[in-house]
Amino acid sequence: MAKAGEAAPGAARPLVLERVRKMDTAVNLSNSGQVMRAQVAACTRLLNMAGILHYSGHVSVRVPGKEQLYIQSREQSRAEVTPDSILLVDFDGNVVEGDDKPPSELVIHTEIYRARADVGAVVHNHMELATAVTLAKGAEVKIMDFHAVRWASGVPVMREVGHIKTKADGEALARALGDADALLLRGHGLVLTSESAPAILADTNHFQDNLKAMKEALSFSSELEPLTAEDLARVQKFMDRDHHIAKMWNYYVNEGRKSGVIPEDWEVTL
Ligand SMILES: [Zn+2]
């Protein structure tokens, strides 16, 4: 006979509901200001949790149909941004909603959006491995991870060293980026472009994972053997970018909520 609190032999086990958290694979695609602010704030906190954004670097999303973007303020900790603290800024740098200054390298975002109608989100960060590639003679990004296929046509490098502060700096950066979705800034960091904040989160993690794979592979051999165009074409046939982005977004948002990185009281579906 089963003791109190124990299931009788053969009886269905009671489900421990907390442990059966359903993995949602949807992203909130609303272009409402509330959702876009929350996604920028969540993406910023999650990239901070990953050690990619820290005391500097920023995520933005374009407001569709307008010369405006959502971005965090200059001084606020990347660990503490909230949907309400995200600024609405126009492409000339004027703050439309919010009380603070935008980041000093805002022109990275505004000039990419002006030059590239296909870009919906931008991240600039100082990822250590990305900066290291720009300081290793002859080094370039090789595709070691099939999730890095997005950058298979090559990752350009902006050779001029320094912060990107003026409109002319931003225009030069957008020219250096060209049609690519990643740009290395020599001795400085990285810029990635994607369609949304959830996509920026996925792409940033994959960019770093690919560089880690490059570094690890070099510990086994002095010569890399990256994935070929044929390898990538075969894998790409089965890749569903929207589904993959949603899967990663929901995984990281869930992890962020469990660890308190994303407060439970944000009243918006991410
Ligand atoms: Zn920077």
What distance in angstroms lies between residue 164's CA and the mean position of ligand 1's atoms? Answer: 7
What distance in angstroms lies between residue 131's CA and the mean position of ligand 1's atoms? Answer: 11
Residue 4: predicted pLDDT: 45
What distance in angstroms lies between residue 254's CA and the mean position of ligand 1's atoms? Answer: 29
What is the residue whose two structure tokens read 């299931």?
A: 7
What distance in angstroms lies between residue 188's CA and the mean position of ligand 1's atoms? Answer: 6
What distance in angstroms lies between residue 119's CA and the mean position of ligand 1's atoms? Answer: 19
Residue 6: predicted pLDDT: 46
CA dist., res. 179 & res. 239, Å (int): 22
Domain ranges in the chain are 26-257
Cβ count near 181 (within 10 Å):
20
In whole angstroms, how far apart are CA 245 and each of 29, 85, 122, 148, 221? 12, 25, 15, 13, 32
Q: What mean pLDDT is predicted for residues 93-111?
A: 97
Of the chain, the percentage scoring pLDDT greater than 70 comes to 91
CATH of domain 26-257: 3.40.225.10
pLDDT at 132 over 60: yes
What distance in angstroms lies between residue 110's CA and the mean position of ligand 1's atoms? Answer: 14
Using DSSP, how many helices (H) and how many strands (E) does the chain show? 7, 8
pLDDT tens, 211-222? 999 999 999 999
Q: pLDDT band at 12, cuts 50/70/90?
A: low
What distance in angstroms lies between residue 30's CA and the mean position of ligand 1's atoms? Answer: 29
Q: What mean pLDDT is predicted for residues 186-202?
A: 97
What distance in angstroms lies between residue 104's CA and the mean position of ligand 1's atoms? Answer: 9
What distance in angstroms lies between residue 165's CA and the mean position of ligand 1's atoms? Answer: 9
Helix (H, G, I), strand (E, B) or coil at 137: coil
What distance in angstroms lies between residue 99's CA and the mean position of ligand 1's atoms? Answer: 23
